[in-house]
Structure 1
Amino acid sequence: VPSSGVTGELVARWQQQLTFTAFGIFARSLPETEEFDSLRASSEGLQYADSITGDCHKALNTPYASAFLLTRTQNALSHVCTNGAAAYLKVSGTDNIPSPLNNVLENSRRFNALPLYAVLHAYGREGLALLFASQVRLARAIASAIGELEAYELLPTTEVGEVGTIVLFRLRDQERNEGLVGRINDQNRIYASGTSWEGRAAVRIAVSGWKIDVAKDTNVVREVLEKAAQ
């Protein structure tokens, strides 16, 4: 169920636990301006979730596995993950700090939360809102540039205002479209991944990064796509 389709009335009626895997959760941190209204609206309903999982490697530029889980039910989480009766795994019953051993499935793991904590601490809410905004602006500028290139088709919509940080497109010429990803990446200026839309090959550009220059980066993408279309 998309989070935008969830309401308090729906939750009360069905009395079910809701878990969201929130790829777009960062949209809730965008500046509250008309520019980002559609993206903020798409994440409406998350407040009704019992638990939310998310991955930070793209939006926050942290390493893979810097994920998170938010839950309303600490007791249920501990009940599922609590270790067995081994004496060396027991923790003090008077300790107010939840033991990591009893809140995740792994007993031993890298400190993957450290890069995430460092980013949150360094930039804060306002700094991250500006970061997310720059990513969206670059993605929308790329989408606009693609819309101006006659050889290309912007997917799945031509409404640039609905673009988040992912830009999907393909060449209108089906034969030339088949090798498009390779011709883009062979130029070694940007990296795009292949995907499909409605049974036909397509290209996916995911915007992520700290040093975004919308005008400069858009020009680079335009030059690459113009050459790849030849």
Structure 2
Amino acid sequence: MRGLKGCLEEVAKGRAWIHVDGAFGIFARSLPETEEFASLRASSEGLQYADSITADCHKALNTPYASAILLTRTETDLNNVCNNGAAAYLKTSATDPIPSPLNHGLENSRRFSALPIYAVLHAHGREGLALLFATQVRLARAVASMVRELEAYELLPTAEVEEVGTIVLFRLRDQGRNEELLGRINDQNRIYVSGTSWEGRPAVRVAVSGWEMDVEKDTSVIREVLKAAE
């Protein structure tokens, strides 16, 4: 995301369509405007130049897996792509003030996946969500700091904890044991991590998401698990 603003400014001068996959990162825009989160907020500057943005709500917002958001600059563009007016029985009124969902998505029938998102937004509000995201970042940074302190592990891809958002990447310094590290962690049934690769070698990925978090308690549990997995 570094340098995103300048890149988008240049692309926006042409006729390219700019799409941003928000995933985890888009929620950095909602973090408190403090020095603690300044680098993360700066990393998402330039999103206003995007023509469309998607975000996964099952991560940071902890909603069901199918919940997601698509934002687009104009309703016309979305309607032109997804309009489903070929069949006579799917015709909608041009004067209806409520847009038909048939013309704003690829599926004709789908669950009301927007409801859990609305419920979370309504229940927490802007300040509540800012606190939720801040706690997620603080927990991830606490884990990153702890990993950096453990002699058996190395923090990836940078040792700068201030650059950490909600994902922590690490592996054992003993490269020969990283193939089994994922299993040694998850088999303890206390935390769950996913496997990944960094620079062609195995690594482990912690992705912080959820609403029941205690930074001190959770970091202590993760430390115990990682020590046992050495």
Conserved 8 A contact 1:20-1:53: yes
Pick closer, same or farther for the CA change 1:75–1:166 going to 2, 3 Å. Answer: same
Conserved 8 A contact 1:138-1:214: yes
Stretch of structure 1 that moved more, 35-44 or 11-20 = 11-20
Conserved 8 A contact 1:81-1:105: yes
Are 2:213 and 1:212 aligned?
yes
Counterpart-to-counterpart distance in 1, 2:155 and 2:86: 57
Counterpart-to-counterpart distance in 1, 2:36 and 2:79: 41
Q: How does 1:1-230 map to 2 (within 5 A)?
A: 4-6=4-6, 9-23=9-23, 24-229=25-230
Counterpart-to-counterpart distance in 2, 1:188 and 1:227: 12
Which secondary structure does the structure 2 equivalent of 1:25 belong to? helix
Q: CA deviation at 1:216?
A: 0.3
Q: CA deviation at 1:94?
A: 1.2
Which secondary structure does the structure 1 equivalent of 2:59 belong to? coil
Which secondary structure does the structure 1 equivalent of 2:189 belong to? coil
Q: CA deviation at 1:103?
A: 0.7
Q: Aligned Cα RMSD in Å? A: 1.5
Which letter does structure 2 place at the counterpart of 1:102? Answer: N
Conserved 8 A contact 2:168-2:205: yes
Q: Structure 1 regions of 5+ residues with no counterpart?
A: none
Q: CA deviation at 1:83?
A: 1.1
Which letter does structure 2 place at the counterpart of 1:16? Answer: A
Conserved 8 A contact 2:8-2:50: no
Which letter does structure 1 place at the counterpart of 2:54? Answer: T
Conserved 8 A contact 2:194-2:206: yes
Conserved 8 A contact 1:6-1:48: no
Counterpart-to-counterpart distance in 1, 2:110 and 2:98: 19
Q: Structure 2 regions of 5+ residues with no counterpart?
A: none
Conserved 8 A contact 1:4-1:43: yes
Q: TM-score under structure 2 normalisation?
A: 0.95
Pick closer, same or farther for the CA change 1:12–1:59 going to 2, 3 Å. Answer: closer
Counterpart-to-counterpart distance in 1, 2:38 and 2:133: 14
Conserved 8 A contact 1:17-1:50: yes
Which secondary structure does the structure 1 equivalent of 2:71 belong to? strand
Q: CA deviation at 1:73?
A: 1.8
Conserved 8 A contact 2:12-2:18: no
Q: Percent identity?
A: 75
Q: CA deviation at 1:12?
A: 5.0
Counterpart-to-counterpart distance in 1, 2:169 and 2:158: 9
Which letter does structure 2 place at the counterpart of 1:178? Answer: E
Counterpart-to-counterpart distance in 1, 2:163 and 2:33: 16
Q: TM-score under structure 1 normalisation?
A: 0.95
